[in-house]
Amino acid sequence: MQEVTVIMDLIMAFSMLTLYGTVTWGLLRYGRTKSDRYWALGWIVYSGGGFFGIMVSTNQLVITDIIPLLLMYLGSILIHEGSKNVSGPILRPLYVGGGVVLMAILGVGLVFDLHFVFIFTPMGLLVAYSCIESAGAVRSRDPVMKQQHLWLVGGLLLWAASWIVFPLALMPSGYEFVMAIQGVAVLLTGAAMLMFFIGSLTESLEMQYRISQVVSGVVQHDIRNYLQTVQNALELAKTSTERDHWFSIADSTLSHASRFIDEMRDIAAATSREEMTTSEVLIVHVVEQVWTRVKHEYSLDDDQITITIPPRRTLRTCGLITELMWNIIDNAFKHGSKSVRVSEEFENGVIRALIIEDDGGGLPDTVRDFLNSPSGLKEPVAPGLGLGLLLIRGLSQLCGVSLTTTDSIDDGGVRGTIFRLGFNGH
């Protein structure tokens, strides 16, 4: 009977190691964003420290407890960084100071022979805070909570709860109860995190495919517009006394077409990237580039656009912002708008949003619902949606821009449409 028990224990240990190895490999393989990688490394480091702590566990504090203590602390730091999704060095003075404090607490515990619960609880509260922060970050990624979101949020909250009730380990049989909860929570979180990463990657690939289809259609559609403009200019040059003027328009249109092809090629390349790169751009410069293109295409006057943004205002965003704004402004004039106004929401030294308002009479409800839906590209396309509108929705998602559209109302009813491009979660 004792031999059977030993064999069963070995089988359970092998199964746990296999599960841990599979989840570890999967997290490293499918974590595609910086936030995902921080979460993955945090879970791996923490669980490694936890396993080591179980192997050397005793009823009293020992000097080797410094290894699981610091590994679990480092894991919680990485998880916390993942919840914020920020760049920069992770070994900040505050974190280093926290590690020093934990070692000092362990030293005091060894000298005065304190119970290990008093030593691990401060670190555990940090873990709980990091897990709660990460659960909120998962919730904020997508307002539609899918199954993999719910499992991950549940695992993180159970993990946090296991540390909040950790002082129960002081009671008889309390340690086994708390460790059972934490073991289930950590394994559940790791498996759910892997499901979450794979689900996010699948959704991203689906969206990239849809956008690549849209881009190919846009190239075919808009190149015909450029060629038609060139053809009209050359026809007018045959009969007009201002031949140089029309030749200049034809030459300028071909230059715009060349730039358009380059931009479309960049968009197609960008859809295959795991993470969009960002840089500082002068907003007014972007708007002026867009306006130059639109003005030539529709023979507009300079007073048909109003820009109320300071000339030196900058914004950190992806390179596709130019194409996104061009599609919005081009679509406005294509559908009857006589003017466009570009403004900003600026608060506490940070640009929260760009506002583009036209007077083209507003959008149908189906079109507005599609543009306002974060999952618009994953759903069947409503009839009447042009390629420009599809690209507006897709480019905003690729750039991480929060897009919302509302009607512009005046005394006579719906005057036009207000496009709000929110940045940095606003």
Report the alpha-carbon distance of residue 237 to residue 308 in Å, rounded: 37
Q: Are residues 124 and 261 in the same domain?
A: no
Residue 39 and residue 160 share a domain:
yes
Contact between residue 83 and residue 46 where contact means Cβ atoms under 8 Å apart: no
| CA–CA distance, 59 with 236 (Å, rounded to integer) | 94
Please tell me whether residues 191 and 273 are part of one structural domain. Answer: no
Write down the pLDDT at residue 142.
62
CATH number at residue 357: 3.30.565.10
Helix (H, G, I), strand (E, B) or coil at 226: helix
- CA–CA separation, 50 vs 120, rounded Å? 12
Show the tokens assigned to 24: 């570890």
CA-atom Rg of the chain in angstroms: 29
Q: Which of 150, 170, 201 is the last residue of a domain?
A: 201
Where does 361-423 have alpha helices with state H?
365-372, 387-398
pLDDT of residue 347: 78
Indicate whether 197 and 216 sit together in one domain: no
> How many separate domains does the chain show?
2
Q: What is the pLDDT of residues 395-423, one digit of tens each?
A: 887 777 889 999 998 877 889 999 999 98
Residue 405 pairs in a beta bridge with 419
Domain that holds residue 137: 2-201
Residues 239 and 372 in one domain: yes
Low-confidence spans in the chain with pLDDT less than 50: 1, 86-88, 274
Predicted TM-score (pTM) of the model is 0.64
For residue range 295-316, list pLDDT tens digits in order: 887 889 999 999 999 988 888 8
Residue 233 parent element (H or E): helix 174-239
pLDDT tens digits for range 161-216 = 999 999 998 888 888 889 889 989 999 999 999 998 888 888 777 767 766 776 67
